[in-house]
Amino acid sequence: MFSSPLFQAPFIFLRHGETETNRLGLTAGMTDVILNETGKQQARAAAAVLAGRGVSAIYSSPLQRALVTAHCVAETLHLPVITIPELAERNWGAQEGQPRGTRDRAETPHGGEGLEDFTQRTFAGLAKIPAGGLPLIVAHSGTFRVLCAHFAIEVDTQLENCCPMRFSPPRTPDARWTVAPL
C-alpha cells in the first residue's frame, strides 16, 4: 500500500470544471482542453463553497482545465497554486477524443498509459504534497478514482465537475477512510 504524508489527515479533492469534451461525453485524457463557460461558473461556485473551510494550500494538475479551476479558487482563498505535473490525467492515447463508453480502464490504450503506470505516477505526485493543514487537490476524475481505490472507497458513478470532496481518515483503528461532498 502506498504511503504519503498527505494520507495522515483530511484533504479536499476538486475535479476541474466542465469542458466541451465533458459535455459531449468524450475522453480528454492528456489533451489540454479548456473550461467552457459552464466550467468557469462551476469553478467560481466551488470557490464560494471552499471559502472559510480552512484550505491551507492548493495543488493542481498542469492541464489547463484543472489549472484554471485552481486559480479561480486561489483568487477567492488568497492562496498560491502549486502545480504538480504528475497529477495530470491519464494518457488515453488513441482513445482521446472518443466517447467515454468505448474505453476500458483495465486495458492500456494504444499509445496511452496503463492503469498501473498512471497510478504510480499519480502517487508520485501526491507524495510531493506535505503533511499539515488542509490541502486542496485540483485534478481529474482519474485521480479521484486512484484515491478511492487506494482507500477502498467504492465509486460507482462519474464524479461531478467542481464538486468539492473531503477525504477523511478513519476515526478508529477498525474504520476506513471516507469521502463526502462538502
Neighbours of 155 (CB within 10 A): 13
For residue 106, give the 3-state DSSP assignment. coil
Given the residues 89, 96, 140, 150, the one annotated as active site:
89
Fill in the amino acid letter for 132. Answer: G
Q: Is 141 left (phi over 0), alpha (psi -120 to 50) or beta?
A: alpha
For residue 26, give the 3-state DSSP assignment. strand
Residues in the chain: 182
The answer to whether 89 is a known catalytic residue is yes
128 alpha carbon, distance to own chain's centre: 15
Under 8 Å between Cβ of 137 and 87: yes
The answer to whether 71 is a known catalytic residue is no
Show which residues are catalytic: 16, 89
